[in-house]
Structure 1
Amino acid sequence: MSTPEGAVAVELERLRGAVATGFAEVKGSLSVLMERSTRTEQDLARLREDTDKEIDALKSEVEQLKARRWPLGVLGAVAGVAGAATGAISLFVR
């Protein structure tokens, strides 16, 4: 009866080794996935920071452009007054 028990013990040991190897492979795969996830999160954080900086720069450029634009309403009024003045002058000069 020692032969079947010995064979069972050997098979159990082989099974134990196979399970340990499988767990080691799964553990390694999970480590790789965690590293990739961490890198992806870092890349995403950097991308957000860069995008926010670029958006802030664009906002400041737009504000600068708004500050330097010509006030069209005032220019229209000045042009109208100048046109009326030249018309009045031309009427009185004749």
Structure 2
Amino acid sequence: MKKKINNWDIVIVKFNQGVDEKVKQQAVEDILALKNKIPEIKKISAGVNFTDRSKGYDHGWVVELEKKEGLGVYNEHPEHLAYVTKYRPLFADLIAVDYES
């Protein structure tokens, strides 16, 4: 039997100082909403860091993609690009990791 491969996109962000908590919450809601807009997304979760181990990174999300090639489609999808345009200027820093398991 062929082993199922999962494809993951993990992003953690550090918002700029002074960004309102309501804006941060909307950023989480908007990333979660991409699940219903981008067919390549199998699952998505997002939330706020709750420990002191994050080196200032305060929010993160995990996107499970149907297949590895879906990452490029997801990254270039108009809904994702709209999210990036809206929120990227509010991030002091961002780290992304993409892998298969």
TM-score range, shorter chain: under 0.3
* Greater relative contact order (CA < 8 Å, ≥ 6 in sequence): 2
Q: Give TM-score, length-normalised by structure 1.
A: 0.22
Question: Which entry has the higher C-alpha Rg, 1 or 2?
Answer: 1
Higher helix share: 1
Higher strand share: 2
Q: Give TM-score, length-normalised by structure 2.
A: 0.21
